[in-house]
C-alpha cells in the first residue's frame, strides 16, 4: 500500500508525520510523495487560528477531490476540536484525535481493514525522511501544555503534558544519524516543560543527547522564554547546539502580556536575549507576535512596537488576532476591528522586514559551516543554485556547476551578500572530509 502524509502547522506536526512514516514502513507499506497515486492519505491538521482551521478544511476537500479513491485519515488539532465537522467532510474515512495519535497507524490499519505485509516490511524509519524529501529531522519529545495563555486553543486540543522517555529520544536520534541525518530539531507543544512528569527537565535531555549521540547539529523548537535555568545558558558552549532560538514574545507591552496570561515580561525577555547575544556573537532570536489582541490601545501598541524594534529579531511570525471559541481571550471586552488590526499588522511587517535585513547584513563577511540541502534551482548556463542553513539559521544560497553535488554535506561557506530571502555565499572548502566536519562541530 502507498501512503502519503500531509501536514499543516507546527514543527510538532512535522515530527509526528515522521513517526507515522516509520511505523507504516514497519508494517510493510510504502511512503510516497505523490498524493495522486496513494492508496491512503493521512492529514495532520492545524487549528492555531481560525484561518488555520479553514486551511485544514480546504486541504481535506482538495485532497479528496484530487484522489477520491484514496482512504482519508484526519488527525491533529482541527480534527480534535471539530471532530463532528471534520467527519462530515467529503471523503473522510477516519478521525484520530490528538490523544490517540500515538496509535494512529495501528488504528488506521485495524479500523479501515487495510492489509499489512509483515514479510515485506522495512526496518523502522528506513529512508522515510529522504522519501519525503527532508534533509533534517524533527523529533517529538513531549506533548501538551500545563499553561493556559488566554489566546491559545492548542493547549485545549493537545491536553495535559506528557514526555517521551529520554532513552527513546536518544535511540531515535541515533537511528536517524545512522540513516545520514546530520541535524535534528527537538519539538513539543511546551518544549520547556519536557520531563515535568518524569523527574527530568529540558537541560537534562539536551545534555543526554549531546553525550549519547554523535548527531552533529542539534536545534530546539519553539521555547517559552520563562523557563531558562542557569545551566541552560551553559549548554550553548557546545557548538553542536545551534545558536538560534525561537522565543515567542507575543507582545512588547507588559499590560497586554498580563491579559494574555503570559509568564514573562519584557524586562525578563530582554535579559535573556542580551545574555545569549553576549555569550555567542550573531545568536539568532526569532519570535511570534500577536497583533490586535483584545483591548490593545494605541499606547500599548506603540509600547510593543518600540520594544520589538529595540530588541531586534532575525524573523517574526506575525499573527493577526482572531478569537477562538473556548479561549478566555474570545470573551474579553474591547475586541478590535479588522481595519485597526490590518493597519498594525502592515506596520509590523515593515519593521520585521527591516530587522531581518539588518541581521542578515550584520552576518555578511563571516564564515559558517553550512548544512547544504538537496534542493537545486537553475541559475545560468551550466550552473545551479543550492541552498542550506548556517548554525544560526540563515538560509544560504551558492552557485555551483551542474555536475557538482553538496547534498547533505556540511561545508564551510563565506557569506558575501544579503538578499531578500537568503544570504549569498561562496563555499570556502569543497574538499572537507569527515574529520574537518567533526572539528567544526566540536
- Cell numbers at residue 201, please? 527537565
Cα Rg of the chain, angstroms:
22
Q: Which of 96, 128, 142 is nearest to 23 (CA)?
A: 128
For 159, the 3-state DSSP assignment is coil
The closest alpha carbon to 51, from 333, 321, 289, belongs to 321
- The percent of residues above 90 in pLDDT, for the chain, comes to 64
pLDDT by residue (tens digit) across 148-178?
A: 899 988 777 787 889 999 999 999 999 999 9
C-alpha cell at 188: 513539543
- What domains sit in the chain, N to C, each tagged with a CATH number? 2-120 (3.40.50.12160), 128-362 (3.80.30.20), 367-440 (2.40.50)
- Lookup: cell for 22: 516509520
Beta-strand relationship, 162-163 and 142-143: antiparallel
What pLDDT, on a 0 to 100 scale, did the predictor assign at position 430?
Answer: 60
pLDDT band, residue 21 (cuts 50/70/90) = confident
Q: What is the b/e burial string over 70-82, where b = at least 16 CB atoms within 10 angstroms of the residue's CB?
A: bbbbbbbbbbbbb
User: Which pLDDT value is given to residue 154?
Assistant: 78
Over residues 362-367, mean pLDDT = 96
pLDDT of residue 428: 79
> Edge to edge, what strands does the sheet with 92-96 contain?
30-31, 2-7, 40-45, 71-76, 92-96
Question: Does the pLDDT value for residue 433 go beyond 50?
Answer: no
Exposed / middle / buried, residue 97 (Cβ in 10 Å: 0-12, 13-18, 19+): middle
**DSSP 3-state of 188:** coil
Q: Per residue in 328-351, pLDDT tens?
A: 999 999 999 999 999 999 999 999
Closest listed residue to residue 235, CA positions, set 208, 214, 216: 208
**Cα–Cα distances in Å, from 259 out to 155, 291, 328?**
17, 14, 10
Helix (H, G, I), strand (E, B) or coil at 295: coil
- Please report which residue ranges of 67-192 form alpha helices under DSSP H: 77-81, 83-88, 104-111, 128-131, 154-158, 166-178
pLDDT at residue 442 tops 60: no
Q: Is the pLDDT of residue 181 over 60?
A: yes
What's the mean pLDDT in 261-278?
95
- CB 441, CB 217: distance < 8 Å: yes
pLDDT at residue number 242 = 97
Q: What residues pair up with 380 in beta bridges, in sequence order?
A: 383
- Per-residue confidence band for 121, with pLDDT thresholds at 50, 70 and 90: very low
Q: What is the pTM of this model?
A: 0.80
Answer yes or no: is pLDDT of 232 > 90.
yes
**Model confidence at 185: pLDDT above 90:** yes
- The span from the CA of 257 to the CA of 293, in Å, is 10
- Burial annotation 325-337 (CB, 10 A radius, 16+ → b, else e): eebebbebeeebe
Instruction: Determine the pLDDT at residue 184.
Output: 94
pLDDT for 186-224, tens place per residue?
999 899 999 999 999 999 999 999 999 999 999 999 999
Which residue in 438, 320, 256 sits closest to 52, CA to CA? 320
The per-residue pLDDT for 8 is 86
DSSP-derived 3-state class of residue 163: strand
Predicted pLDDT of residue 429:
66
- Model confidence pLDDT, tens digit, residues 383-393: 888 999 999 99
Amino acid at each position: 500500500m502507498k501512503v502519503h502524509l500531509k501536514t499543516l502547522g507546527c514543527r510538532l506536526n512535522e515530527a509526528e508525520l515522521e513517526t507515522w512514516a516509520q511505523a507504516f514502513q514497519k508494517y510493510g507499506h510504502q511512503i510516497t510523495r505523490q498524493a495522486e497515486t496513494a492508496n491512503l492519505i493521512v492529514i495532520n491538521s492545524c487549528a492555531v487560528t481560525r484561518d488555520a482551521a479553514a486551511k485544514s478544511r480546504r486541504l481535506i476537500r482538495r485532497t479528496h477531490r484530487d484522489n477520491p479513491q484514496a482512504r482519508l485519515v484526519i488527525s491533529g488539532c482541527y480534527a480534535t476540536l471539530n471532530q463532528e465537522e471534520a467527519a462530515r467532510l467529503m471523503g473522510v474515512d477516519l478521525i484520530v484525535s490528538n490523544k490517540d495519535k500515538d496509535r494512529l497507524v495501528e488504528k488506521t490499519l485495524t479500523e479501515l481493514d487495510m492489509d499489512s505485509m509483515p514479510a515485506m516490511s522495512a526496518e523502522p524509519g528506513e529512508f522515510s525522511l529522504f522519501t519525503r524529501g527532508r534533509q533534517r529531522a524533527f523529533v517529538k519529545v513531549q506533548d501538551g501544555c500545563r499553561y493556559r495563555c488566554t489566546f491559545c486553543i492548542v493547549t485545549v486540543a493537545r491536553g495535559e503534558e506528557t514526555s517521551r522517555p529520554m532513552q527513546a529520544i536518544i535511540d531515535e536520534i541515533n537511528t536517524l544519524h545512522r540513516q545520514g541525518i546530520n541535524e535534528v530539531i527537538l519539538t513539543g507543544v511546551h518544549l520547556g516543560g519536557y520531563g515535568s512528569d518524569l523527574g527530568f527537565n529540558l537541560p537534562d535531555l539536551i545534555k543526554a543527547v549531546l553525550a549519547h549521540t554523535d548527531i552533529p547539529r542539534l536545534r530546539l523548537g519553539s521555547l517559552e522564554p520563562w523557563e531558562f535555568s542557569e545551566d541552560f545558558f551553559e549548554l550553548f558552549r557546545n557548538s553542536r547546539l545551534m545558536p538560534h532560538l525561537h522565543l515567542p514574545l507575543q507582545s512588547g507591552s507588559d499590560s497586554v502580556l498580563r491579559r494574555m496570561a503570559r509568564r514573562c515580561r519584557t524586562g525578563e525577555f530582554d535579559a535573556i536575549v542580551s545574555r545569549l547575544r553576549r555569550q555567542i556573537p550573531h545568536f539568532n532570536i526569532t519570535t511570534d507576535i500577536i497583533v490586535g489582541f483584545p483591548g490593545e490601545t494605541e499606547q500599548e501598541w506603540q509600547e510593543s512596537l518600540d520594544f520589538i524594534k529595540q530588541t531586534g529579531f532575525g524573523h517574526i511570525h506575525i499573527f493577526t488576532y482572531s478569537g477562538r471559541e473556548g479561549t478566555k481571550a474570545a470573551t474579553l471586552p474591547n475586541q478590535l476591528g479588522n481595519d485597526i488590526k490590518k493597519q498594525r499588522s502592515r506596520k509590523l511587517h515593515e519593521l520585521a522586514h527591516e530587522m531581518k535585513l539588518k541581521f542578515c547584513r550584520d552576518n555578511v563577511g563571516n564564515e559558517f559551516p553550512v548544512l547544504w540541502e538537496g534542493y537545486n534551482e537553475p541559475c545560468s548556463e551550466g550552473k545551479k543554485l543550492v541552498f542550506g542553513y548556517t548554525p544560526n539559521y540563515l538560509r544560504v544560497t551558492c552557485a555551483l556547476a551542474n555536475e557538482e553535488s553538496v547534498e547533505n554535506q556540511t561545508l564551510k561557506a563565506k557569506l558575501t551578500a544579503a538578499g531578500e530571502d537568503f544570504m549569498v555565499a561562496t563555499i570556502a572548502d569543497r574538499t572537507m572530509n569527515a574529520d574537518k566536519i567533526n572539528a567544526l562541530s566540536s
